[in-house]
């Protein structure tokens, strides 16, 4: 260690110092230095960790997690030695443990160091050759994970000629045999044993919130071994987890296609310690003062209004949408029944609106409030990028699972902008994630079901870019009904000229440009995040009798109000799916008030939001009544009634003319007009029936049933 200090003290004459001070017997010098380090580590462990080591040994935990700050306070020179020469220092620390007088075998005991100095925090993109073989820490997102596999650290061979035992260290990827024996034998050896450890590789990616502008997130492979791949630790490194890794930066040669070795090297991190970072609502640290402030704020009768005003103060209007986004943050209560059936608590929201109406601003703001959120744009997202994909694993030479955005935001918020720009195949990959909250994948001999307990907030534009005020809104949403039906709430944002509204909006926008801090939230973002985290962590509200009565009356009355049958087909204004959405919204409202009970007041908040959505997108333009099938299937009860009438007209004419006889379209239209179906509607229905394969056109102007 003195030798290293001398080099440091004369940086201008580094080369001369190295030459002049280099000891004659270098191996002996390093041996003495390591022995000195062993003694210092032994004293340090006896002072701070003796009882911890003994307890860990008794519990068969062959590792010790030591605090680097304590080490630097104890001996600054020893801590620098650990950072600059981690390989030798860790060997010395592990050897120091062997000096403890315990009955159990300490072979394979590892010392792990946490809390490295701030100066040793390094971004993945900033790794350079000067950092090689030194100890640093990195923060990132686990993007990919291989299986745990055994790896040989050393192998014992017996010489067939003389019987001598030779031990060969296995440091490289290729399994090595002895080069030669003392007797001259070079080829004839028997393998008699191997020392094996468990090894796993994860791929760490830079966290999106720490990137600037259009930076592409960089990745690096991290090798975990021994206790770092234990079943308890392994759960903390699942794809999507945010982790902090302390490790030694290593280089590995790149093999060329020709079989030679490239002059360029690849990088990886040999992990010494790994810990999960605070990333979910349930893991945010809240001190006693903040907890008292949260409880006092929860007693405020105007708390819901204050929270809504703090949701997006810089965005003008959209009070109902802001309220819904706030309740989405709190979410309902997840329920797992005795038979294993699970009901999600997450509330999915879809915003469909004119360009420039502020959808993206609302989405960005929501992603800031949620501590674990990921923002993706539909144009640049694929089905694999949203769900999961199987990629070639360089470590095992096989296949590994790589998580997509919905898996990476498990127990968080996934914000998807420009949903309508995604292809149909890519959108269909979301169906399972939205309702079942799992993602099943079966590709390249990899069968897995990943958890995706993710809240989804999505935005899309109307079919023709802007809403047509003279056409029904449901027809203008360019998304398949099966996908739309999985969203609990659908809001339309229309940009229509209105003098009073436009004046207020212009004043709001211009004054915010004049004074950026004018519209400051009453509750700042950090505290709002903690308020939501506290409510989600502590409260699981249950329905009161009054709330159940309110939901039941609303549901039953709406389904049976003005129920008119058309050809035996009845309009369905609301379905059980919306009833579950009502319960989730009611529970979220109770959480916002820090209440253990869902009251009648919470039920009314939920009913108002559902009513607002249904009146906007669920009205049948023909009858003017609510019809949930407008959203769920894309076909209203009145349209189904017309289809039924056209089919009856075809059957009636065919009965007169004879089976398998071509029927004139004009005859069908004339019969339909008697039942108040216009010629345009009749022709449109005939086209639909033709596309669905119910009828075909043997010759122009005539149709025939299949």
**Mean pLDDT across the chain, nearest whole number?**
77
Architecture of 134-275 per CATH?
Answer: Beta Barrel (2.40)
When pLDDT is averaged across residues 444-458 and rounded to a whole number, the result is: 78
User: From CA 482, how far away is CA 495, in angstroms rounded?
Assistant: 27
Query: Per residue in 148-165, is it b (16+ CB within 10 Å) or e — as a string?
Result: beeebeebebbbeeeeee
**pLDDT tens readout for residues 383-404:** 566 777 777 766 556 677 777 7
* 619: three-class secondary structure by DSSP: strand
Write out the E strands in 187-260. 189-205, 219-225, 242-255
pLDDT above 70 covers a percentage of the chain that reads 80
pLDDT at residue 530 is higher than 80? yes
**pLDDT tens readout for residues 474-518:** 667 777 777 777 888 888 887 776 677 777 778 777 877 766 666
Q: Is the dihedral of CA 642, 647, 650, 655 positive or negative?
A: negative
Confidence of residue 374 (pLDDT cuts 50, 70, 90): confident
User: From CA 279, how far away is CA 412, in angstroms rounded?
Assistant: 9
User: From CA 420, how far away is CA 477, in angstroms rounded?
Assistant: 9
pLDDT value at position 5?
A: 33
User: From CA 321, how far away is CA 559, in angstroms rounded?
Assistant: 25
pLDDT above 90 covers a percentage of the chain that reads 2
Domain edges within the chain: 2-115, 134-275, 288-631, 636-705
Task: Mean pLDDT check: name the lowest of 321-330, 423-432, 443-452, 623-632.
Answer: 623-632
* 294: three-class secondary structure by DSSP: helix
End-to-end CA distance of the chain: 91
When pLDDT is averaged across residues 345-361 and rounded to a whole number, the result is: 82
Among the CATH numbers 2.40.30.170, 3.30.1640.10, 1.10.287.110, 3.40.50.450, which is that of 2-115? 3.30.1640.10
* 200: three-class secondary structure by DSSP: strand
When pLDDT is averaged across residues 262-287 and rounded to a whole number, the result is: 76
When pLDDT is averaged across residues 2-17 and rounded to a whole number, the result is: 36
pLDDT value at position 692?
A: 73
> Which strand ranges, in their side-by-side order, compose the sheet holding 702-705?
663-664, 702-705, 695-699
**What homologous superfamily does CATH list for 288-631?**
P-loop containing nucleotide triphosphate hydrolases (3.40.50.300)
**pLDDT tens readout for residues 549-595:** 998 888 888 777 655 444 444 555 567 778 888 899 999 999 888 88
pLDDT value at position 626?
A: 55
Among the CATH numbers 1.20.1530.20, 1.10.10.10, 1.20.1080.10, 1.20.120.160, which is that of 636-705? 1.10.10.10
Contact between 276 and 238 (Cβ < 8 Å): no
Residue that the structure tokens 């949403």 belong to = 477
pTM over 0.75: no
Confidence of residue 3 (pLDDT cuts 50, 70, 90): very low
pLDDT at residue 257 is higher than 70? yes
């Amino acid at each position: 260690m003195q030798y290293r200090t001398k080099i440091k003290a004369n940086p201008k004459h580094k080369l001369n110092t190295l030459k002049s001070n280099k000891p004659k017997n270098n191996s002996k010098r390093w041996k003495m230095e390591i022995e000195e380090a062993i003694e210092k580590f032994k004293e340090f462990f006896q002072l701070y960790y003796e009882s911890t080591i003994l307890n860990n040994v008794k519990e068969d935990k062959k590792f010790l997690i030591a605090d680097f700050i304590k080490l630097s306070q104890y001996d600054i020179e020893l801590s620098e030695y650990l950072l600059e020469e981690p390989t030798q220092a860790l060997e010395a620390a592990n050897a120091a443990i062997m000096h403890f007088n315990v009955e159990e075998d300490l072979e394979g005991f590892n010392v792990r160091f946490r809390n490295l100095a701030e100066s040793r925090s390094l971004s993945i993109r900033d790794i350079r050759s000067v950092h090689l073989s030194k100890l640093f820490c990195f923060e990132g997102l686990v993007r990919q994970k291989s299986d745990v596999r055994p790896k040989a650290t050393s192998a014992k061979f017996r010489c067939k000629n003389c019987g001598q035992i030779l031990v060969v260290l296995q440091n490289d990827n290729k399994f090595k045999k002895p080069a030669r024996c003392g007797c001259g034998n070079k080829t004839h050896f028997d393998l008699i044993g191997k020392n094996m450890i468990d090894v796993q590789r994860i791929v760490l990616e830079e966290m999106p919130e720490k990137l600037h502008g259009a930076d592409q997130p960089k990745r690096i492979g991290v090798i975990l071994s021994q206790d770092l791949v234990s079943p308890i630790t392994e759960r903390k490194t699942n794809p999507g987890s945010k982790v902090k890794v302390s490790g030694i930066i290593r280089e590995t040669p790149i093999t060329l296609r020709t079989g030679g070795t490239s002059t360029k090297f690849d990088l990886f991190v040999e992990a010494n310690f790994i810990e999960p970072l605070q990333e979910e609502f349930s893991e945010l640290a809240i001190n006693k003062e903040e907890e008292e402030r949260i409880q006092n704020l929860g007693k405020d009768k105007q708390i819901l209004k204050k929270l809504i005003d703090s949701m997006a103060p810089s965005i003008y209007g959209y009070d109902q949408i802001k309220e819904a986004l706030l309740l989405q943050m709190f979410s309902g209560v997840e329920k797992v029944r005795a038979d294993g059936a699970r009901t999600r608590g997450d509330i999915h929201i879809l915003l469909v609106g004119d360009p420039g109406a502020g959808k993206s601003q609302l989405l960005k703001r929501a992603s800031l409030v949620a501590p674990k959120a990921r923002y993706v744009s539909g144009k640049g997202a694929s089905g694999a990028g949203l769900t999961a994909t199987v990629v070639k694993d360089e470590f095992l030479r096989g296949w590994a699972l790589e998580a997509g955005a919905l898996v990476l935001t498990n127990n968080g918020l996934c914000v998807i902008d420009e949903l309508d720009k995604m292809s149909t195949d890519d959108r269909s990959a979301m169906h399972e994630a939205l309702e079942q909250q799992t993602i099943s994948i079966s590709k390249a001999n990899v069968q897995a079901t990943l958890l995706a307990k993710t809240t989804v907030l999505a935005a899309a534009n109307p079919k023709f870019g802007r809403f047509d005020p003279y056409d029904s809104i449901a027809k203008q949403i360019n998304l398949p009904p099966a996908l739309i039906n999985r969203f609990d709430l659908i809001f339309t944002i229309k940009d229509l000229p209105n003098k009073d509204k436009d004046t207020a909006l212009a004043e709001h926008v211009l004054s915010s440009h004049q004074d950026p801090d004018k519209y400051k939230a009453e509750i700042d973002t950090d505290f709002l995040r903690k308020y939501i985290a506290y409510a989600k962590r502590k409260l699981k509200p249950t329905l009161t009798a009054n709330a159940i009565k309110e939901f039941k009356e609303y549901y039953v009355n709406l389904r049976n109000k003005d129920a008119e049958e058309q050809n035996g087909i009845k309009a369905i204004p609301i379905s059980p799916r919306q009833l579950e959405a009502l319960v989730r919204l009611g529970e979220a409202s109770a959480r916002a008030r820090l209440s253990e009970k869902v009251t009648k007041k919470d039920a009314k908040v939920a009913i108002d939001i559902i009513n607002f959505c249904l009146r906007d997108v669920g009205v049948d333009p023909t009858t003017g009544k609510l019809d949930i099938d407008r959203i769920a299937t894309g076909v209203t009860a009145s349209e189904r009634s017309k289809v039924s009438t056209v089919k009856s007209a075809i059957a009636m004419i065919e009965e007169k003319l004879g089976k398998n006889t071509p029927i004139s379209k004009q005859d069908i239209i004339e019969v339909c007009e008697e039942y108040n179906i216009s010629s345009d509607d009749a022709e449109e229905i005939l086209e639909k029936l033709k596309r669905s394969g119910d009828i075909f056109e043997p010759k122009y102007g005539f149709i025939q049933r299949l």
